[in-house]
């Protein structure tokens, strides 16, 4: 509370003392209208004597109205979100909640407050009961409905009842929808209001950003009474947003952005005895309204009803699917209506009662499965097989060709590196032109040139035989020489 303050501003010098200053003179201004005043006022404990900021009829007449007393309500009875607005010479008070228990009360206002706020009732308490308003108000509902972001343009600068032109000067619009922004260029040409709104709607729903997010479902319409364009977003949540800026010919200069609203719901609650705190009664206009006031509620009186809260329980079925519990029946308490006629329409009723049975079932998925194997096809596709019978393709093995395979540098038993002699790798899928296939589950076959190896083997054998003959001849000569000398 220490940082809160009231601030009053003047709009007409002649109304300073009449409207804003409840008592005192220009040198001693107090706030008795809102319950804070001078020492001779009963509510002095809730405020302090204040002085104006200046004496030259400037904008601010009063500021820093700091309360120095205790709060009017206990912490568990305080409410947030109350708003007060002033328009067309009238004050409007709105409670911070919606639903069955929304209410508003102005208690013991001062005479100055009655005059200032336009209260003409002689009573000292002005209370707005649930679903009742001092103005023509709709009945309160349990929660609020969700709504999309809506932008209402200003009156169009062209005559929408006649055909008009989209030119180079007015063809560009800037649109933001849920964080996706784009600059739209309309196709130049002649349009009617119907073809124009459809063309603009199509352009907006083609928007996309660099992250791949797109816009769809935005509606563009025309308000005949206001002669303006309307833009309605496709999402209904608190983050829904739409903003449009364009030429004055389309009434889109300085147009306020639109925000969406997420639906809220206030659930019913039961007291310790399991009874509802909300009652439904029929008013004099014949409409049924929810109220927190029990009044002369009677469970045997038809015009008054209350929601029923059932305890949590279990339902039990036998093997044939027949419900066997609970064994009791539910009864509806009511009363006999005398002199009234109730019409029952059986036109849409059906009687198809029969024992429960599953006549047809379908499956659109598979149970959980474990990996049981991997296979590699001739085209290099790696396929995983699972215990539930399903298969999944994990990837594909590719092959590489080289202009001179012998120029590769070997770095292991079966690993090679590209070199300048081998040339660059030519990568492709197995089985495609110029590439072989892959055989999985087999030992590596020899890639030796058998013809060349056989020729080399024969040559080596002949060389061995020639060398053997040379050795044999040398040995014979040596033996002969030895024999001659002997």
Please give the Cα distance from 198 to 221 (Å, whole number). Answer: 8
Query: Which residue did the predictor score with more confidence, 153 or 366?
Result: 153
Cα torsion angle, 97, 98, 103, 106, sign: positive
Query: Cα torsion for 433, 450, 419, 430, to the nearest 10°?
Result: 20
> At CA 234, angle to CA 230 and CA 237, rounded to 5?
110
pLDDT score, position 435: 87
Return d(Cα 293, Cα 290) in angstroms, integer.
9
Cβ neighbors of 409 (< 8 A, separation 6 or more) are 416, 417, 418, 419, 422
pLDDT at 13 (0 to 100)? 47
Averaged confidence pLDDT in the chain: 72
Give the C-alpha separation, 217 to 350, whole Å: 39
Domain positions in the chain: 8-128, 150-259, 371-428
Q: What's the rounded Cα separation, in Å, for the pair 405 and 423?
A: 8
Alpha-carbon span 215 to 209, nearest angstrom:
9
Q: In this predicted model, what pLDDT tens digit does every residue of 196-223 receive, in sequence order? A: 999 999 999 999 888 888 888 899 999 9
For residue range 347-358, what is the model confidence (pLDDT) as tens digits?
A: 878 777 777 888
Dist CA 107 CA 77 (whole Å): 15
Mean pLDDT computed over 24-48: 37
Query: Highest mean pLDDT range out of 90-94, 276-280, 461-465?
Result: 461-465
Give all strands (DSSP E) within 200-335, no chain letters: 219-223, 228-232, 241-245, 258-259, 279-282, 288-291, 304-305, 316-317, 323-325
Check pLDDT > 70 for residue 277. Answer: no
Question: Tokens at residue 96, please?
Answer: 């911070």
Give pLDDT, residue 480. Answer: 84
Beta strand 416-417 pairing with 409-410 = antiparallel
In degrees and rounded to multiples of 5, residue 123 shows phi and psi of: -70, 160
Instruction: Please give the pLDDT value at position 307.
Output: 52
CA separation for the pair 428, 432 (Å, rounded)? 7
Contact 84, 93 (CB under 8 A): yes
Average confidence (pLDDT) over 131-158:
66
Give the closest residue to 334 by CA, choosing from 298, 383, 385, 282: 298
| HSE, side-chain direction, 13 A CA sphere, residue 399 | 17
Q: Give the model's pLDDT for residue 244.
A: 93
- Over residues 82-94, mean pLDDT: 72
Taking the C-alpha atoms of residue 426 and residue 399, their distance in angstroms, rounded to an integer, is 8
Mean pLDDT of the region 46-75? 46
pTM for the predicted model, two decimal places: 0.34
SS3 50: strand
In this prediction, residue 113 carries a pLDDT of 67
Q: Cα torsion for 337, 340, 345, 350, to the nearest 10°?
A: 20
pLDDT band at 270 (very low <50, low <70, confident <90, very high): low
Mean pLDDT score, 32-55: 38
Q: Phi and psi (nearest 5°) for 141? A: -120, 165
286 within 8 A of 320, measured Cβ to Cβ: no
């Amino acid at each position: 509370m220490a940082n809160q303050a009231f601030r009053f501003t003047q709009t007409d010098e002649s109304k300073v003392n009449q409207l804003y200053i409840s008592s005192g003179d220009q040198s001693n201004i107090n706030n008795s209208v809102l319950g804070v005043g001078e020492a001779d006022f009963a509510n002095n404990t809730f405020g302090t004597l204040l002085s104006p900021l200046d004496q030259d009829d400037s904008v601010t007449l009063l500021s820093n109205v700091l309360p120095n007393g205790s709060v009017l309500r206990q912490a568990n009875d305080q409410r947030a979100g109350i708003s007060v607005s002033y328009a067309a010479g009238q004050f409007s008070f709105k409670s911070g909640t919606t639903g069955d228990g929304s209410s508003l009360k102005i208690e013991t206002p001062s005479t100055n407050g009655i005059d200032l706020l336009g209260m003409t009732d002689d009573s000292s308490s002005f209370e707005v009961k649930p679903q009742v308003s001092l103005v023509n108000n709709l009945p309160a509902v349990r929660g609020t409905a969700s709504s999309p972001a809506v932008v209402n343009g200003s009156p169009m600068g062209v005559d929408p009842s006649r055909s008009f032109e989209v030119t180079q000067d007015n063809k560009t619009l800037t649109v933001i929808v849920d964080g996706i922004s784009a600059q739209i260029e309309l196709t130049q040409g002649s349009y009617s209001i119907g073809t124009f709104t459809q063309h603009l709607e199509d352009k907006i729903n083609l928007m996309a950003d660099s992250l791949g997010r797109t816009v769809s479902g935005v509606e563009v319409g025309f308000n005949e009474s206001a002669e303006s364009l309307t833009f309605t977003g496709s999402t209904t949540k608190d983050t829904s947003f739409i903003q449009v800026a364009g030429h004055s010919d389309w009434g889109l200069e300085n147009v306020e952005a639109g925000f969406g609203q997420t639906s809220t719901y206030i659930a019913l609650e039961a007291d310790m005895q399991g009874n509802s705190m909300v009652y439904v009664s029929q008013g004099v206009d014949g409409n049924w309204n929810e109220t927190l006031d029990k009044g002369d509620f009677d469970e045997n009186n038809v015009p008054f009803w209350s929601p029923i809260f059932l305890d949590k329980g279990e339902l039990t079925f036998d093997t044939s699917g027949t419900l066997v519990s609970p064994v009791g029946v539910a009864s509806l308490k009511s009363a006999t209506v005398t002199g009234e006629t109730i019409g029952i329409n059986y036109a849409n009723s059906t009687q198809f009662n029969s024992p429960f049975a599953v006549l047809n079932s379908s499956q659109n998925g598979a149970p959980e499965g474990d990996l049981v194997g991997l296979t590699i096809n001739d085209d290099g596709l790696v396929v995983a097989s699972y215990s539930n019978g399903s298969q999944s393709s994990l990837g594909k093995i590719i092959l590489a060709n080289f202009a001179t395979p012998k120029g590769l540098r070997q770095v292991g038993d079966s690993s090679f590196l590209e070199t300048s002699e081998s040339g660059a790798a030519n990568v492709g899928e197995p089985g495609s032109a110029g590439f072989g296939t892959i055989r999985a589950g087999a030992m590596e076959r020899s890639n030796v040139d058998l013809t060349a190896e056989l020729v080399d083997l024969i040559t080596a054998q002949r060389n061995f035989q020639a060398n053997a003959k040379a050795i044999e001849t040398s040995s014979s000569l040596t033996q002969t020489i030895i024999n001659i000398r002997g």
